[in-house]
Amino acid sequence: MATGTIRYWAAAKAAAGVAEERYEADTLAGALDGARERHSGRPDFARVLLRCSFLVDGEPVGKRAHQAVRLHDGGTVEVLPPFAGGSA
């Protein structure tokens, strides 16, 4: 089982109540399931995750199935909620 860091940004950070935490999982799906379990007392957390995009070791996950995205020891998962703004 791989271990690494999950980093939460913006609304995901607020919903989790932490900026980062460790994962122990072989896939992105496993890491996110573990995070949902750890934050089960924070009802907004699971809802925010549904709207997030993810980077694994700096690479966008995009539309790939989370079960197919392998994690590695020392890796980083970035949890990015949608950001408002842009140019007018």
Provide the whole-model pTM. Answer: 0.91
Chain segment 47-86, per-residue pLDDT in tens: 999 999 999 999 999 999 999 999 999 999 999 998 755 5
The DSSP secondary-structure symbol of 27 reads B
The answer to whether residues 25 and 2 touch, using CB atoms and an 8 Å cutoff, is yes
Residue 88 has pLDDT above 60, yes or no: no
- Assign 3-class secondary structure to 4-23: EEEEECHHHHHHHCCCEEEE
Chain segment 7-37, per-residue pLDDT in tens: 999 999 999 999 999 999 999 999 999 999 9
Q: Which segments of 1-88 does DSSP mark as H helices, in order?
A: 10-16, 28-38, 43-51
